[in-house]
Structure 1
Amino acid sequence: MMTPIWQSQVPPIQVTIPPTPVPWQTTVAAVGTIITVTVALYVAMRESRGAKKARADAATERSNREREDRRRGARLVAGWVEEEYFPSSDGSAYIRKAVAHISNEGDQPVFQVAAAVHVGSGRSIGPLAIPQIIPVVPPRRDLRWDITIPLLAHDDTESPHLEVRFSDPNGNRWTRSPNGDLVETTGEEARLFGTDLSEADIAGQVGRPDSLNPWMVAHAFVTLLQEGYDLDNDVFKDILDPVVGQWRESPRETATAIRDDLQNRGFTGFARYPAPHVARIILPIQEQGNSQVVVGDVVALDASVIQLTYLRHQGWRVFSYHFSGAGVFPPDRIPFAPGSLHEDDRIPPYLPNVTQP
């Protein structure tokens, strides 16, 4: 019997489908695409970092340029003290002459100029003969003030330096420190009195305790009045200028009026010198004291004034007392003995005929 064909054992047919070959160009292209994208990202990141650095560098350069532009005029303003020693007419001593300079070498003016002389280890003794405020220093100008006699009121004054404060034409405020550094101080407050001074600092500002110091003479004048002495008393003999008639005409009435005015007044820390042989001690109302704060350097005061004159070989003497609002004698209305204003009359501080008031 025959086996049906469908039951016959026919070996299965095996079909093998070969993989589709990937051309090598396709593989290379894919790898190339990956590399291109990676390089592009790297370049983009590098360019981004470079752009950020370039912007930062440009901003820094612009800031430096603006800073330099702000400083361009200010850096040409300076202050210093020039000293010279020369023999007296009789050849017995050397006399020191000291001149304060404020120079503007720029092409534009500077404004609201104020200065202070520093001595010793940096102690400020005020503007001395330099005006409290100089409204303007023109371009290419060197302003000078003789501070020889004012320096006699202080010890340790060898090699003095000058601090200068001023505003540029754009209103920026600057300070040239005594060591020459230039610092912008726009918007800082100016005080008439220091608020953190030690007793040693105050003593250093006030100066010598003798008649070479107008502050000390004025203080002795006020103290004697407050103790009840009238102006015709002998205790004022070495304190009052013998030329002035204010003391001789009505000594008691004048003493009473001054005594009443002094009841609510105090001393400022510095003497002012409108001329080398003329000094002024400012007496503001005590309430103005340390609370008198302004932006800038100009301080308006309700103040009386003691005006003193420097007499040859005698030191300072009280010339006049000016009540607040009454005005003060200018130097050209003050009489001096013949020859008193000659250059050679600046006595050295060690001469024995200058006594303590």
Structure 2
Amino acid sequence: MNEVWEAIAAIGTVGAVITSVAFGVFEGFRARRDRRELISVRAATDAVAAAAGEAERIAVASLVTAWVTDEYAYVASASTYSRTVTLRIANESNEPVVNVTVGVYLGSENRLIGPLSTPSPIPVIPPRREFEWDITAGVGAYDDNTEPHVAISFTDARGRRWQRRLDGTLADPEELDTVRLAQDDPELAVAQIGVPDRYRNPMAVARAFAEELWADRSTFDLTAFRTLLDPLASGWSGNWDEERVDQLRELLQNYSNLAALTWYSAPRVAYARLLSDDTLQQITERRGGVLIEVYFITLVYRSELGWTVFGVGPKLRPDQILFPESDF
């Protein structure tokens, strides 16, 4: 009888072992399943956090945009249409953006023609604000001007630099567009200057002024040089002879490079820049924002003369320049 109970006990022991093994296998399976679920949950959580971090990172930048509007209005008195080209920048975020730089481009080759009448840089665009600038005069200095578009770079409140590209997409600093530089491409430099018409293009006058200024004395044309000077600028008054031109050459002897891009502070006031060789090398090496020393050629538009050179030296504001009513 004891043998029977022992056999039963043995069977019970084996059953316990089998149950224990089965339970262990089940527990192992459940533990592995739980680990997989935990890993999956963590991965999902990390993905959500990464997405939230990315959304937060671009939250301000994604709401900063720039575009150009090109509009025509019929003028009955002239029996034609007038054109107005306006550059607009909007910051729809709740934070300011700073150090905004602007580039206006023309054509399918994306030829940079400068900031034109927009400040460069724009110190700050406040939250929920939109600014606009009339760039009609600047665009009008080029024949192929039917497709003006804009790219901007700016810094958000966290110090991150961004670029809104020509196609409207947003780029990280590591993905910023490379801009062709005029000093690398002589054909581009000529294209950036615009048409050789002093009634449309202030750079045409600035270029003629620089070429005469640095011309060999055997080819220098004093009469042609005088026609470029603004008759209402007191600095050009009196008899401008070759001796006075030589004094101007001496003042500007280290600034014999004319930058290709024109700036405008008003529809009838524009600026070209004379750069030194050292400054030109500095720009070439840095390929970006850098403070440089320049001489400004201030140009003004006169109704009967077209663009003229008002002064050379510091940049003169429009309110520092006399404009008779006949100019408007």
Cα distance change, pair 195–247 in 1 and its aligned pair in 2 (3 A): closer
The answer to whether the 8 A contact 2:60-2:93 is kept is yes
CA drift of 1:295 comes to 9.5
Amino acid paired to 1:243: L
| 1:279 paired residue among 270, 273, 279 | 270
Of residues 24-33 and 123-132 in structure 1, the stretch that sits farther from structure 2 once superposed is: 24-33
Q: For 1:62-211, list aligned pairs within 5 A.
A: 62-88=49-75, 90-121=77-108, 122-185=110-173, 194=181, 197-211=184-198
Q: Which residue of 1 aligns with 2:3?
A: none
Which runs of 4 or more aligned residues in structure 1 lie more than 6 Å from their structure 2 counterparts after TM superposition?
186-191, 229-232
The answer to whether the 8 A contact 1:264-1:285 is kept is yes
Q: Which residue of 2 aligns with 1:249?
A: 238
Q: Which residue of 2 aligns with 1:261?
A: 251
Q: Which residue of 2 aligns with 1:349?
A: none
Amino acid paired to 1:223: E
Give the whole-Å Cα distance in 1 for the aligned partners of 2:125 and 2:24: 66
Q: Which residue of 1 aligns with 2:210?
A: 222
SS of the residue aligned with 1:144?
Answer: strand
- Which is higher, the Rg of structure 1 or of structure 2? 1
TM-score, L = length of structure 2: 0.85
Give the whole-Å Cα distance in 1 for the aligned partners of 2:111 and 2:188: 7
SS of the residue aligned with 1:95?
Answer: strand
Q: Which runs of 5+ in 2 are unaligned?
A: 1-5
CA drift of 1:263 comes to 3.1
The answer to whether the 8 A contact 1:241-1:317 is kept is yes
Q: Which residue of 1 aligns with 2:280?
A: 289
The answer to whether the 8 A contact 1:77-1:103 is kept is yes
Cα distance change, pair 141–27 in 1 and its aligned pair in 2 (3 A): same
The answer to whether the 8 A contact 1:112-1:135 is kept is yes
Cα distance change, pair 62–313 in 1 and its aligned pair in 2 (3 A): farther
Q: Which runs of 5+ in 1 are unaligned?
A: 1-19, 342-357
CA drift of 1:32 comes to 2.6
TM-score, L = length of structure 1: 0.79
Q: Higher helix proportion, which one?
A: 2
Give the whole-Å Cα distance in 2 for the aligned partners of 1:83 and 1:264: 41
